[in-house]
């Protein structure tokens, strides 16, 4: 019996490394850089939107002006004080209620708001007392001590905050 010699297994050549990524390395690196840039721009854009401040309200501006005036009140002559505190309130009323408070005399302004429903009776009387006090300082050049100027500042602050004068009832009270 003749046995047939087994056929040798063919030997293949050694093949180089098998590339398992679908794209060349330069394309992957470029895509990664672009992705990092896009994510960075999105983060920067969101942060800049969050950092934007809203403009201050008329009330915040007026209260800030009154607080600044309170801090530098010592040594200020009554005339300059009267002008500053009156200007802060009149500017607030112009911005808040769209009235010509900065260009009218006190009497003209009080006549203009007499029938205005935006102001309560308490606010009207508070404005009347306040404007009378500032007019005395501005036009009559009346002397005022620290306590009178503080009283005007407190009245101005209550007017801006919409608070009721001490001893008076709120406008929503029915009693």
Instruction: Give pLDDT, residue 65.
Output: 92
65 within a domain of the structure (yes/no): yes
- Mean predicted lDDT score pLDDT of the chain: 84
Q: Tell whether the model's pLDDT for residue 130 goes beyond 80.
A: yes
Q: Tell whether the model's pLDDT for residue 29 goes beyond 90.
A: yes
11 within a domain of the structure (yes/no): no
46 within a domain of the structure (yes/no): no
Work out the burial of residue 147: count CB atoms within 10 Å of its CB; fewer than 13 is exposed, 13-18 middle, 19 or more buried: exposed
Q: Tell whether the model's pLDDT for residue 9 goes beyond 90.
A: no
10 within a domain of the structure (yes/no): no
2 within a domain of the structure (yes/no): no
Indicate the number of domains in the chain: 1
21 within a domain of the structure (yes/no): no
36 within a domain of the structure (yes/no): no
pTM score: 0.63
Q: Which domain holds residue 66?
A: 58-161
Work out the burial of residue 154: count CB atoms within 10 Å of its CB; fewer than 13 is exposed, 13-18 middle, 19 or more buried: middle
86 within a domain of the structure (yes/no): yes
């Amino acid at each position: 019996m003749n046995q047939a010699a087994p056929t040798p297994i063919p030997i293949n050549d050694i093949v180089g490394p098998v590339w398992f990524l679908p794209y060349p390395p330069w394309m992957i690196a470029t895509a990664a850089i672009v992705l990092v840039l896009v994510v960075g721009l999105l983060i920067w854009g969101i942060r800049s939107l969050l950092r934007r401040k809203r403009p201050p309200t008329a009330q915040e501006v007026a209260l800030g002006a009154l607080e600044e005036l309170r801090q530098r009140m010592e040594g200020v002559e009554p005339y300059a004080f009267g002008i500053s505190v009156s200007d802060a309130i009149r500017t607030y009323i112009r911005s808040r209620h769209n009235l010509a408070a900065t260009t009218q005399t006190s009497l003209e302004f009080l006549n203009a708001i007499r029938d205005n429903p935006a102001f309560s009776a308490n606010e009207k009387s508070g404005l009347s007392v306040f404007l009378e006090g500032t007019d005395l300082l501005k036009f009559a050049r009346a002397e005022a001590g620290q306590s009178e100027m503080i009283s005007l500042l407190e009245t101005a602050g209550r007017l801006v905050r919409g608070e009721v004068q001490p001893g008076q009832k709120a406008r929503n009270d029915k009693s």
